[in-house]
Amino acid sequence: MRVIRSRDNALFKQFASLVHSSRQRHKQGLTVLDGVHLVEAYGASRGAPHALLASESGLTHPEVRRLLAGGLMPQPVVLSDALFAECAAVQSPQGIAAIIAIPAPAPPAGPLGPCLMLEDIQDPGNLGTLLRSAAAAGMPRAFLSPGCALAWAPRVLRASMGAHFQIELYEGANLPDLAQRYEGRVLGATLHGARPYFEADLRGAVALVIGNEGAGISADLLARVHERIHIPMAPGVESLNAAVAGSVLMFERMRQSSR
């Protein structure tokens, strides 16, 4: 098996550019998945990736060997450990990565149904965690405002642990417009003029709005919510992390829906 050891190799250059440059990801319409779990999740829902890359040592990893033996993945391109390690965002003891096309689903034409509306969530870890919780709590789709972190960036993908391939994900959404025409109830998480979340009815067609980590929900979007809800906290605690708050609300919706 031939091993690529040159930085001048075209595939390695592409791999590195996609890891390190959001501009290149946007320009090429591609991104990188790091590790067996993400690659496997993609394969189960979307099929073979654009390209599969492995480090020399990665080929000896039991989970990588299992993945490659499953018959769903193409033959990997093998990079030297040194080259693979140069792509810092994909450093992993597993030594496996995939290049995939970034999905661009058409906006839904009919009712939106239960959904998450995320406004200007800028921390990749928060965004990935919110998407992971959405998948786990049975929230079928999420709409992201243009000010959110890029959903298909490697850091967001790692934090989501495959949730991108379990829910419908729409970037660049005009949230005030979506909230205005939403067929159900729009509930905004905010500290002011809100009632405890466990007193609200979160069942059925509900859109949960989570705002920016520091500024919260914008005035334009807040004017379109039907109800404001908050999570009661102990005295002296000012606020919760956006990902934690959103997760609490989504799992409360799941609890109420199961009654």
Query: What is the model's pLDDT at position 91?
Result: 59
Same fold for the pair 3-101 and 115-257? no
What percentage of the chain reaches a pLDDT higher than 90? 85
Q: What is the pTM of this model?
A: 0.92
**What average pLDDT does this structure show over 223-240?**
91
Residue-wise pLDDT tens digits, 128-164:
999 999 999 999 999 999 999 999 999 999 999 999 9
Distances (CA, A) of 218 to 6, 20, 84, 209: 49, 31, 42, 11
Per-domain residue ranges for the chain? 3-101, 115-257
How far apart CA 203 and CA 37 sit, in angstroms, is 32
Short-list 43, 9, 32, CA closest to 150: 32
Distance of CA 92 to the CA centre of its chain: 19
Q: What is the mean pLDDT of the chain?
A: 93
Residue-wise pLDDT tens digits, 241-252:
999 999 999 999
Q: What is the CATH number of domain 115-257?
A: 3.40.1280.10
Other C-beta atoms closer than 10 Å to the C-beta of 36 total 22
**What average pLDDT does this structure show over 161-189?**
96
Q: How confident is the model at residue 89 (pLDDT cuts 50, 70, 90)?
A: low
Q: What is the CATH number of domain 3-101?
A: 3.30.1330.30
Query: What is the model's pLDDT at position 39?
Result: 95
